């Protein structure tokens, strides 16, 4: 298997916005990174990459029956469902989708306080021996992903776990790297990256705000 890449490989080019670029500043310190159309294109591209990866990681068939997309709430969950819908649109094959809430596995509850839990729902077929792709909106410190990995470990033993994110903004605090990245965004630690998805926020878009 090819080493994980943060750049799109071997998929239809969707335009210059799929590669890293410095955000353009607008008034009020808010920079638009991805428009609604960009989000759609990026999701389509990751869906294609997932189809390729699933096929290349199996010896027979398209490998899609082996694939489980697991979203990390809040916004990773609708993102996982969108990816599954696009994969089904491209290949005609439905893939399993789930969510895993990481709140009870977080390492910052004591410093930042308890919060309400969100859905944990995994496919009936389970995750044992399958290729699990965790899906989240923003990859930042890597601590959410660490918590999700701990959560998955209590549920079963996947054959492999990979990570797909809409935005990688850098500043990792743990040795974690994404396998599928929608957009790499150089940010300063104090900036805020805001992902909006229609299912949660009423519209699609990604912006960065200066603190």
Partner 1 sequence: MRRHLLESADLDRADATLVLDTAAQIESALAGREVKKLPTLRGRTVVNLFFEDSTRTRISFELAAKRLSADVINFSAKGSSVSKGESLKDTALTLEAMGADGIVVRHGSSGAPHRLATWVAGSVVNAGDGTHEHPTQALLDAYTIRQRLGRLEGVRVVITGDVLHSRVARSNVWLLHTLGAEVTLVAPPTLLPVGVGSWPVTVSYDLDAVLPQADVVMMLRVQGERMNASFFPSAREYSRRYGLDATRMAKLADDAIVMHPGPMNRGMEIAADVADSPRSTIVEQVGNGVSVRMAVLYLLLGGPA
The residues of the shown chain that bind partner 1, judged by CB under 8 A, are 101, 104-105, 109-114, 116-121, 150, 154-156
Render 166-210 in DSSP notation, one character per residue: EEE----SSS---SEEEEE----TT-EEEEE-HHHHSS-EEEEE-
| Sign of the torsion angle spanned by Cα atoms 83, 68, 58, 19 | positive
Please state the closest distance from residue 200 (CB atom) to partner 1, in A.
17
Please state the closest distance from residue 29 (CB atom) to partner 1, in A.
31
Please state the closest distance from residue 126 (CB atom) to partner 1, in A.
8
Find residue 160's DSSP bridge partners: 131
Calpha distance 35→81 (Å, rounded)? 20
- Which residue's CB is nearer to partner 1, number 51 or number 147? 147
CA 170 to mean position of chain CA atoms: 14
- Which residue's CB is nearer to partner 1, number 101 or number 136? 101
- Which residue's CB is nearer to partner 1, number 58 or number 120? 120
- Which residue's CB is nearer to partner 1, number 113 or number 175? 113
Calpha distance 65→91 (Å, rounded)? 12
Please state the closest distance from residue 121 (CB atom) to partner 1, in A.
7
Please state the closest distance from residue 96 (CB atom) to partner 1, in A.
15
- Which residue's CB is nearer to partner 1, number 16 or number 154? 154
DSSP letter at 173 equals S
Of 44, 31, 131, the closest CA to residue 79 belongs to: 44
- Which residue's CB is nearer to partner 1, number 63 or number 78? 78
Please state the closest distance from residue 104 (CB atom) to partner 1, in A.
4
CA distances from 53 to 33, 46, 96, 121, 163 (A): 27, 10, 16, 24, 12
């Amino acid at each position: 298997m090819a080493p994980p890449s943060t750049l799109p490989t071997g998929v239809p080019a969707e335009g210059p916005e799929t590669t890293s670029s410095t955000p353009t500043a607008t008034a009020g310190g808010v920079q638009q990174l991805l428009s609604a159309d960009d989000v759609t294109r990026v999701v389509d591209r990751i869906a294609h990459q997932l189809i390729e990866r699933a096929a290349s990681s199996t010896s027979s068939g398209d490998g899609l029956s082996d694939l489980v997309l697991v979203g990390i709430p809040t916004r990773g969950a609708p993102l996982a469902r969108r990816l599954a819908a696009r994969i089904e649109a491209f290949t005609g094959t439905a893939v399993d989708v789930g969510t895993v809430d990481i709140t009870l596995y977080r390492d910052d509850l004591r410093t930042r306080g308890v919060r309400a839990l969100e859905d944990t729902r995994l496919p009936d077929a389970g995750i044992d021996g399958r290729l699990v792709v965790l899906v989240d909106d923003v990859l930042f410190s890597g601590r959410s992903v660490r918590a999700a990995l701990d959560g998955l470990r209590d549920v079963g033993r996947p054959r492999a776990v990979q990570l797909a994110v809409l935005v990688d903004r850098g500043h990792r605090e743990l040795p974690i790297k994404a396998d599928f990245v929608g957009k790499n965004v150089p940010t300063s630690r104090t900036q805020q990256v805001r992902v909006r998805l229609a299912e949660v926020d009423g519209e699609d878009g990604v912006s960065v705000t200066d603190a």
